[in-house]
Amino acid sequence: MKSKAPEQCQLCSLYYEAENFCAKLSGRELDELHARSRLVSIKRGQMLNDDVLERWPILAIDSGVLCLRNLLHDGRRTIAAFFLRGDILDMRAAENRRLGDLIALSPVSLCRLSPEVFDHILSVNPRARTVAWKSLSGQAYRALSHASDLAKKQALEKLASFVFECRRRQKGLNREHVEIPIRRRDLAEYLGMQPETVSRCFRDLEERAIIKVSDLSVIRILDLPALRRIANGDRVLQALGQVPDPVFKIVTKEA
């Protein structure tokens, strides 16, 4: 019975959003999971440290943006992925922790699930298992998609792809306005570019009237097909911004 859910869970998107994990649980399962789990709040910039992860390796995001950040020896930083409400992270594999640190990019509310209860639920509740499987599968999908973007796309194309990623992942129905849930600096780290380049690319898209940057965290898509073509790597369109310059190459520069 929904009305019997623990009060804390009533306010948690993992429960009140019908497609999320906790919404699939029976009253008894939810009670048991709740009893052995911990809902915590994390401030922006804060990192989940390793020894706590050791004891609480299953994380379910209620709200906010958590990211996986990786530090190279000489200080270069990369954000490999970010996680939003509804995502379930399984950090039990030791190797997963070598990927980097989990850091809050905004205030985050998440639930540390008891691994034992989680596992038990997976074994007895097919609908919950499906949700968990889909979450993991979705993470793999996004990581692959992101890797494709990083491998061969140019800066402008990566940014356009990113806008679509945000659009796909945002819950709201508004498809024209897209929320950029992270700051420019973090966005740059996610896309493997410099903040300066991110800024230049936004300006470029805006000058071509493809998007409108309202404030730093919301953009409006003005020309969806154009944006899509850029995201898909259609270089012909990208060149159109430029004045179709004379095709002559001046060869008189040598002495």
Partner DNA sequence: CGGCAAGTTGAGCCAGGTCAACTCCGGTGG
Partner DNA sequence: CCACCGGAGTTGACCTGGCTCAACTTGCCG
- Please identify which residue in 154, 166, 177, 224 interacts with DNA, judged by CB under 7 A: 154
Q: How far apart are CA 142 and CA 171, in angstroms?
A: 16
Would you say how long the chain is, in residues? 255
Instruction: Write the CA distances from 148 to 18, 90, 162, 232, integer angstroms.
Output: 31, 23, 12, 11
Kindly state the smallest distance separating residue 7's Cβ from DNA, in Å. Answer: 29
Assess 175 for contact with a second copy (CB under 8 A).
no
- Among 96, 170, 197, 217, interactor with a second copy by CB under 8 A: 96
Q: Name the token pair of 31.
A: 């009670």
Half-sphere exposure of 205 (CA within 13 A, CB side): 30
Q: Which of 39, 155, 222, 224 binds DNA (CB under 7 A)?
A: 155
239 binds a second copy (CB under 8 A): no
- Out of 2, 44, 76, 171, the only residue in the binding site for a second copy (CB under 8 A) is 76
- Residue 156 binds DNA, judged by CB under 7 A: yes
213 binds, among a second copy, DNA, none (CB under 5 to 8 A by kind): DNA
DSSP 23: G
Q: 117-121: long-range contacts at Cβ-Cβ below 8 A with a sequence spacing of 24 or more?
A: 117/29, 117/32, 117/33, 117/36, 117/37, 118/33, 118/58, 121/25, 121/29, 121/33
DSSP label at residue 242: S
**By CB under 8 A, what part of segment 103-162 binds a second copy?**
122-123, 126, 129, 133-134, 136-141, 143-148, 150-153
> Of the candidates 106, 202, 205, 208, which one interacts with DNA according to CB under 7 A?
202
Residues forming contacts to a second copy in the complex (CB under 8 A) are 49-50, 68, 70-74, 76-81, 90, 93, 95-96, 99-101, 122-123, 126, 129, 133-134, 136-141, 143-148, 150-153, 189-192, 229, 232-236, 250, 252-253
